[in-house]
Structure 1
Amino acid sequence: MNSTPFAPDAPWRIDRTRLATIAERPARDWTIEIVDETGSTNADLMEQLRASRRGSTPAPMARVAYSQTAGRGRRGRAWLAEPGNALLMSVGCVLKRPIEGLSGLSLAIGVAVLDALAHLPLSPSARPALKWPNDVLLDDGKLAGILIETAWNTPDATAVVIGIGLNLHGAEQLAAQVDDANRQAAQSTQSTPGTAPAALARAWPDANLTDTLAAILNALDAALSRFEAEGFRPFRQRWLDAHAWAGREVVLIDQGMEVTRGIVSGVDESGQLLIDAPEGPRTVTTGELTLRLARERP
């Protein structure tokens, strides 16, 4: 889908000329598509990569949409955003690593998003941080979410799609929408609500899609090359330094029920969460359970 439901001169549209100037290598070597609306940028690139030849290593592809009709986050949660209020993007690429060598990729991408934010004119008082396994926080609110999917793999390569949704404006409106969605979900499932949303405009009143996209592309370009060569290990300390819940008591939840609780002691070199639980040290694999601060009971 590539419809045009928004005014062509809307002030929040991405300035392609400026993007080409400040996006560095991605602007030259990547395929960058910007569409008004689609179902899901992740689904679009998954389809493209699945149609590609296995084992091929095309240049990364970025797809950005101003609106998604079927945007989603981790565990199938809907990703809500009004046109111009959020950066909705996915990057598809082939990493020369087997699928088991992708451990910690979502954490490494979180570090890349922090690196991108460091190149934007945020207020000195802003506190970007990371929440395991795939959220970027701003002053304890959820600024961005990361969703990684694999399209195909061979013994020495994996095609991945990295979805990033980052809120720029409208945090209050978004919070109301999320609350409504959570109430509806609670009526039919045992899912637990996520962290309240935050928007980049809190730390950068003039937040815009063009500069944010360029910063993300530049940071991903560097991060993907490094992850391909070295895995999560070189990102680990940076992630630990930015971990919002380091040393705090958390609750592990499975389908709405508390499994255990304990103190977060960090992550290992494969990106697994380390918790000191009453029954002893516990390692939590990405996607295994839902994590909440202990005060947030299911």
Structure 2
Amino acid sequence: MSTDRTSHGHWPEGYGRIMLDTVDSTMAEAARRAGDIDKPTWIMAQTQTAARGRRGRAWQAPAGNLNATLIFKPDATPAEAARRSFLAANALFAALSIYVPSEKLALKWPNDVLLSGGKVAGILLESSGQGPFVDWLSIGVGVNLRHAPDGVTDAAFPPVSLTQMGSWEVAPADFLTTLADAYATQEAKLKQMGFARIRQDWLGHAARLGEIITARTMREEITGIFDTIDDDGNLVLITGTGPRSISAADVYF
């Protein structure tokens, strides 16, 4: 296995970077610093003591993995801000494909990245604002670079790490540079070509597109053919009673 630990790409112009040793969570740290940032800023910690995923689930974040949050103040409505999860997913796909063959990667709606069928990365969005536009948006990213969480035996998509799946080792700070560069490219695409291009790119790497999947919401379980995501980023399933648009759910294959 190669021990090349260099990053691929350059730190993007106009983006800040805060590097921490230990923090409760980079998402919590981003919220604390929200009033002080004057440009999009990545916050990375070597370890987190209280990391979390979607719906408040615990997220293991040992040293050697990427624990980072991008916080910024987009000129965006809450719905527009929420669509940034697809920019982050596209950026993660691009960054990870430098270290592992892209054909082994897939994007799982709404915010996971799969490597050979296992979960290698997750995305979490939070925003704040009372008016028509958000005051700030944070995009949390966790990537299993060196370690897969221990003791996870009942997951539909068991966690995997890059090194476990045959990649060379990459230091979190180097991967962050690769990811930040890729994310800045996604923001440029959004500005120049709109969400339609982001959506098109995401669908090009979507897991199980055109196949039967199950979406489990807080109220029901819906099974159908994964047809697309719509202009708002909702999952569209073709069911026995027609198309269903789903805004939030856990997806199972």
* Letter paired with 2:126: E
In the alignment, structure 1 residue 149 sits paired with structure 2 residue 126: yes
**Paired residues of 1:36 and 1:67 also in contact (CA < 8 A):** yes
Q: Is the 8 A contact 1:275 1:282 kept in 2?
A: yes
Q: Aligned residue for 1:48?
A: 33
TM-score (norm: length of structure 1): 0.75
Contact 1:65 1:88 in 2 (8 A): yes
Residue number in structure 1 paired with 2:62: 82
In the aligned structure 1, how far is the partner of 2:90 from the partner of 2:9?
20
Aligned equivalent of 2:11, options 12, 17, 24: 24
Counterpart amino acid of residue 197 in structure 1: P
Within 5 A, what are the aligned runs for 1:1-298? Answer: 22-26=9-13, 29-49=14-34, 51-52=35-36, 58-84=38-64, 86-118=65-97, 120-122=98-100, 124=101, 127-152=104-129, 154-156=131-133, 158-171=135-148, 174=149, 176-179=150-153, 193-201=155-163, 202-227=165-190, 231-255=194-218, 259-285=221-247, 288-293=248-253
Counterparts of 2:15 and 2:55, CA distance in 1: 29
Stretches (4+) displaced over 6 A: none
Q: CA deviation at 1:60?
A: 0.8
For residues 219 and 125 of structure 1, the distance between their equivalents in structure 2, rounded to whole angstroms, comes to: 15
Q: Distance in 2 between matches of 1:126 and 1:117?
A: 11
What letter matches 1:31 in structure 2?
Answer: G
CA contact under 8 A between 2:72 and 2:136: conserved in structure 1? Answer: yes
- Could you say what secondary structure the match of 1:79 adopts? coil
- How much does 1:154 deviate? 4.5
User: How far apart are residue 75 of structure 1 and its match?
Assistant: 1.1
Q: Residue by residue, what CA displacement relative to the aligned partner does 1:222-272 show, whole Å, maximum 9, x if unpaired?
A: 2234335655221111111101111221122234x7522111111112211
- Rounded to whole Å, the distance in 2 between the matches of 1:162 and 1:156 is 17
- Partners of 1:89 and 1:237 in 2: how far apart? 26
Q: Deviations over 1:195-237 (max 9, x none)?
A: 2112112241223323311110101122234335655221111
Gaps of 5+ in 1: 1-11, 183-192, 294-298
1:130-175 deviation line (CA, Å, top 9, x unaligned): 000000111111110000100336445541000000001223xx2x
Q: Rg bigger for which structure? A: 1
Q: What's the % identity of the aligned pairs?
A: 29
- How far apart are residue 127 of structure 1 and its match? 1.0
- SS of the equivalent of 2:20 reads strand
SS of aligned partner of 1:23: coil
Using the alignment, how far apart are the partners of 1:147 and 1:103 within structure 2? 10
The alpha-carbon deviation at position 103 of structure 1 amounts to: 4.4
Structure 2 vs 1, CA of residues 38 and 239 (structure 1 numbering), >3 Å: closer, same or farther?
Answer: same
Greater helix share, structure number: 1
Aligned residue identity for 1:233: A
Do the aligned partners of 1:126 and 1:203 also contact (CA within 8 Å) in 2? no
CA-based RMSD? 2.5
Is there any run of 5+ residues in structure 2 with no aligned partner, and where? none
Normalising by structure 2, we get a TM-score of 0.88
